[in-house]
Structure 1
Amino acid sequence: MTSPAKFRKDKEIVAEYETQVKEIRAQLVEQLKCLDQQCELRVQLLQDLQDFFRKKAEIEVDYSRNLEKLAERFLTKTRSTKDHLLKKEHSILSPVNCWNLLLLQVKRESRDHATLSDLYLNNIIPRFAQISEDSGRLFKKSKEVGVQLQEDLMKVLNELYTVMKTYHMYNTDSMNAESKLKDAEKQEEKQMGRSGRQDDRQTPRSPDTLASIKADEKPVRRSSVKKIEKMKEKRQAKYTENKLKAIKARNEYLLALEATNSCVFKYYIHDLSDIIDCCDLGYHASLHRALRTYLSAEQNVETSKHSGLETLEAAAESLEANGDKQKMMETYNNVFCPPARFDFQSHMGDTMGVVCAQQPLESELLQRCQQLQSRLSTLKIENEEVKKTMEATLSTIQDMVTVEDYDVSECFHHSNSMESVKSTFSESYLSKPSLAKRRANQQETEQFYFTKLKEFLEGRNLITKLEAKHDLIDKTMGESQKTDCCLASGRRNSAVRKQESGEAIPLMVESCIRFISRHGLQHEGIFRVSGSQVEVNDIKNAFERGEDPLAGDQNDHDMDSIAGVLKLYFRGLDHALFPKEVFHDLISCVSMESLQERAVHIKKVLKSLPSKTLIIMRYLFSFLNHLSQYSEDNMMDPYNLAICFGPTLMSVPEGNDQVSCQAHVNELIKTIIIHHDTIFPGPKDLQGPQYIVPGSGEDFCDSPHCEPPLVEEPAPDTVSVIHNSEDVPAALIV
């Protein structure tokens, strides 16, 4: 029989097992609840993402519409300009170009944000909806698998409980059998001990008496011993049987215990992880794809915006007052060009059209000439001082208006907080007490500048008037009449011969190229820096009168003005040097990566042009190639020259994108400058004047009217003379 203590211990063991199983069962229930909660949170997150992008799509489309309305409002205003010619001519000015690019940038942003809204609605939101649907379906199936695994685990635990109970039962039987066996052994020992004691306590008796006693007691003792022995054998067999069953039960229990622990460990370590993986199957990857779609859309919008802003930035950097002045004067050449000279109108048949210097007027004219010379010397000194003061004042004004206060990057250094953004930088800038003082100083300086400008212009006008009188009297007095007459006659006769000869290279082109090749190959910014419009008009009018103002070895002309005359000639042609008929054929070569292939294609297209046009092209591009070889000094490589001559030599036909086509035109002109010798025929195939590098031992060109080249090269630091201070670019004033 088992003792009460052992019975209580067995009950405690069972109770402890049941408590552990109960805790496991509670864990399993909480696991499913946790997975349910994660699924709900995931669905809610995906729903929030859909709602967020749906609202963002509405904001983007509203923003797009507002931008479109804003752009159309001002574009319509621009289109409604009555004077279409004026509108077209003004569009070439750099501020108007910036304005147009700004409106185009707004329209670009409008389209981009409309595209963004469409992507949100028709791409990103459906992705999140699909992820939500897939996650719910996968979670449901994963939960079914998890429930099945939990049921299998509980079966294992129940089996362990059954095996443990069996082990306890057999072990109890074994212990009971062992107890009974021990009782039998005790009874046997007791029986055997009692027989021995009785023999020892008996007194000595006669043999006959002992024999009679033994005969009476012997059957009784043998029967009791046999009975005890039989009971002991039976209990021994029972004990052995129960002991074997207990051992087998214990073995089964230990095996089941090991298997159960392994199953529990596998479930918690591997199965749960696999179930969670099933719940997450494709979720993170799909979410990654959806978010990458959003990032791609936003990044493309930023790239598009950045591209437009770069174009606008380039236009802002190209804002240049002197260049716009040049464009305006070229556009309205008839308005700004000097009028014809006033001729002497004789009165009543007076045929004397020159100043009379005969006696007694000769001494009076000589005295007047000396007085004018003295007066001019004083005026020039005074006007030069006024000019220096005016230029210093202008420099001060430029410093005031070019202060670099446009960097607002500090406004975008936001913290991670969700507080509203406030532009403290702009407020602090506008609230500076010195702002009003700066404005007052600027206006006062401007007033002083215009006072000096007016004084300088009045002084220069007076000097011009007095110089004209002085030069005429001086000429009349015969001091320089012979030299001037010979020079003028030579230039006039040369121009007349040139025009009568019918040469393929116009006199204006040939003379300007000859002058630049002799004196301006190293002139920095040639063809890029604008010259004096007054001098450009003077030189142009001289050519139109049949003269050659650049003949001879004199180098007293502004190099930028000479370059301006050459560009003005090609810009003033009724038809551009490159006909519009071959525009698209020529532009198609830009897509070719090899410059040599481009050159072959260009040669094939230009082959159809008239020989006179090809001669002029060959002559011009040979000169430009020679000029580009001095790019380290003049800063004009083939691409920079192409930028200057591209719009002049090849106009973009209407109906094409001016910005993109102009870039292709510049690339085409650059290719022709580099490979001119491959593109244009040689002297054997195309007879006519050729450009020859000065100083190469040959004539400048094979035209009969070209002058021999100078022996000396111009110094690298040669500075062109600018006669009119009002034409000096602001960037050159110190």
Structure 2
Amino acid sequence: EIRAQLIEQQKCLEQQTEMRVQLLQDLQDFFRKKSEIEMEYSRNLEKLAERFMAKTRSTKDHQQYKKDQNLLSPVNCWYLLLNQVRRESKDHATLSDIYLNNVIMRFMQISEDSTRMFKKSKEIAFQLHEDLMKVLNELYTVMKTYHMYHAESISAESKLKEAEKQEEKQIGRSGDPVFHIRLEERHQRRSSVKKIEKMKEKRQAKYSENKLKSIKARNEYLLTLEATNASVFKYYIHDLSDLIDCCDLGYHASLNRALRTYLSAEYNLETSRHEGLDIIENAVDSLEPRSDKQRFMEMYPTAFCPPMKFEFQSHMGDEVCQVTAQQPVQAELMLRYQQLQSRLATLKIENEEVKKTTEATLQTIQDMVTIEDYDVSECFQHSRSTESVKSTVSETYLSKPSIAKRRANQQETEQFYFMKFREYLEGSNLITKLQAKHDLLQRTLGEGHRAEYMTTRPPNLPPKPQKHRKPRPRSQYSAKLFNGDLESFIKDSGQVIPLVVESCIRFINLYGLQHQGIFRVSGSQVEVNDIKNSFERGENPLADDQSNHDINSVAGVLKLYFRGLENPVFPKERFNDLISCI
């Protein structure tokens, strides 16, 4: 089902590109024809508008427009252009030359750029699809391995029970009176009992071995399951959106420039048409890839809707659906957790650098495609003769050496951007999978640590020794500072403002106002506990003017204090009123 959905996504993106190319082709044909008939004024212009309007009435965009007046911004501009043509009553050779030698060339370049962008995005999409299918195949393989080992474990368990029954039966026979049994028969019975005992020991060892394999396979299955769900979620929520952005890269901005060229010529030619052209300008201003991307995805909900998360498939009565962190796999999981933590730290630093490079390159491309070179007002400052306009237009846009150089630089920058974008996606995909495994192991190992103090331990595991906990620091006040009532503490201590609040805010004002991530980045838990314990003893660990404490830890203490109050500073019954005021 996911493979079919991936194919459908590719078809949708390809169809979108074909629609863009066709739209650009229509725009080129439109302006070329308009250039030819410009001197025939209103009558021929009306025929032209009707011709293209009739052509678009059968398209899906037109049906969508009639249904809810909601179009992609380039298509909306196209509709408004056709309506504007009906209002045109006169024009000049200057406008005809601009259409032929400037606007149409821009649309041709946009068409080439759109096709090139789609091909490059298609390559990345194909790689992402292959990676996603590899992840799914890996999940299927791990699931099959788990099922196989679990089946072997069940089989070994049944054989062990059979051996135990045989042993009990043989022991029962051995308990019969032996005074009438010959010596030879006694030796045979003893030999039989020993054989059964050896067989039982072998089957016991086989069962333990298969049980351990089953547990490890199940753990691997659960980890892979978590990583697969994380990868699929990331692809549908983030990567797919980024791929659509890649297909749109420069399209809206370039179309914006081409249409603004048209607008500049029209405004300088005839100010009486400003009212109609203002409507088109508003539509051009609305050329925005994000909203178009949202509309595009809403047009094909079945193609871009993320699938349901994969659920754990139990096998032959195995109801354990969590990673097992008990002996003998606890040490192995702890080592794996530490390895994942170390690798994630390295990968995140590397991927963050790639991300910064990608963003900087993207900004460079955006600067290239958003250059404001669409103003052609200087073409109308000279003679109105056709020869003068031709030379001016040629020098303005098409024949400048800087244009070819700029386009070459743009393509080179695009190549570097796609290389870095691919590298960033690959790195973030790996981080997503490893982070999912890391988080699941962290939760599992944390729960296993807390389970030491529970009474519902499995009967086959020996009890863990109790750990001696350090006594909590005694407060000099009868009312609790942390996790207590604010009014009670103020009455008991005589402090108008609790010392912890006043001291932490003072410290943050001195050293934290320019700190990035204040109240968002967590501080050291050890330092947070030390500062908290000092305040509970009535001390002020932040009294000195030296910034020898981590600012994130101080902010963490302040958050911990307000979070633990029995009665919040802003009462719950007034919470909605407060939000409405904000």
What is the TM-score normalised by the length of structure 2? 0.39
Which structure has the larger Rg over C-alpha atoms?
1
What is the TM-score normalised by the length of structure 1? 0.31
